[in-house]
């Protein structure tokens, strides 16, 4: 059975990776597809090409996982590619209402089924938007995202991270100085 894991992935988080890894053990193939979310139009940190690059690096160890993008309706993509079922991750009850709505709409529009996989509880509070916000202030996001996303965020906010490192070096006691 084939599955498509659609999303904005701006950038992919450890929660997404957890769902994807679990799904890769269940489905024959999983395609991670970057799509447009009308609610997030023009508010992306990473370009489509950057998000695809991050995804390819983050998933290269998963043999049955591929990466793709599509600019139209998810149901059209599912029909065009004969991709089987839609896979979505659930972190907490707060995700449920929105996910229920789009799952029902996709079934009504294209008779496509959606399967949900719950992310491990340690990722309940991790979202791409929170990770972007933390990174924009030079905070440590390495635990919340795969290495490829962390490297890309660090590059995007290189000035902020460098400044933060400079100032924290200035306030940290010099470990070599003895009293």
The site for ligand PNS (CB under 6 A) is made up of 6-8, 35-37, 40, 73-74, 102, 105-106
CA angle 44, 142, 149 (to 5 degrees): 35
Do 67 and 56 form a contact (C-beta atoms < 8 A)?
Answer: yes
CA 52 to chain CA mean position, Å: 11
Tell me, yes or no, if 83 is annotated catalytic: no
Examine the residue annotation and report whether 104 is marked as an active-site residue of this protein: no
Question: Rounded to an integer, what is the distance from CA 159 to the centroid of its chain?
Answer: 24
Would residue 91 show up in a list of annotated catalytic residues for this protein? Answer: yes
Is there a binding annotation on residue 126? yes
CB of 74 to ligand PNS, least distance (A): 4
Half-sphere exposure of 28 (CA within 13 A, CB side): 5
Q: Within 13 Å of residue 127, how many CA atoms lie on the same side as its CB?
A: 10
Determine whether the annotation assigns residue 40 to a binding site: yes
Which entry of 40, 43, 122, 147 is annotated as an active-site residue? 40
Known binding residue 155? Answer is no
Of 24, 91, 132, 149, which is the active-site residue? Answer: 91
Q: To the nearest whole angstrom, how small is the minimum distance from the Cβ of residue 132 to ligand PNS?
A: 13
156 carries an active-site annotation: no
């Amino acid at each position: 059975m084939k599955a498509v894991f659609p999303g904005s992935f701006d950038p992919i988080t450890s929660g997404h990776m957890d769902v994807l890894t679990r799904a890769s053990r269940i489905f024959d193939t999983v395609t991670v597809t970057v799509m447009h979310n009308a609610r997030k139009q023009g508010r992306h940190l990473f370009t489509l090409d950057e998000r695809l690059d991050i995804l390819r690096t983050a998933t290269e160890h998963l043999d049955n996982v591929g990466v793709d993008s599509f600019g139209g309706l998810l149901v059209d993509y599912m029909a065009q590619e004969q991709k089987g079922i839609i896979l979505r991750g659930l972190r907490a009850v707060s995700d449920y209402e929105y996910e229920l709505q789009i799952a029902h709409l996709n079934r009504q529009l294209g008779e496509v089924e959606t399967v949900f996989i719950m992310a491990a509880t340690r990722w309940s509070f991790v979202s791409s938007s929170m990770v972007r916000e933390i990174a924009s202030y030079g905070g440590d996001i390495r635990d919340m995202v795969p290495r490829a996303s962390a490297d890309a965020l660090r590059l995007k906010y290189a000035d902020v991270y460098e400044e933060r490192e400079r100032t924290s070096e200035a306030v940290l006691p010099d470990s070599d100085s003895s009293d």
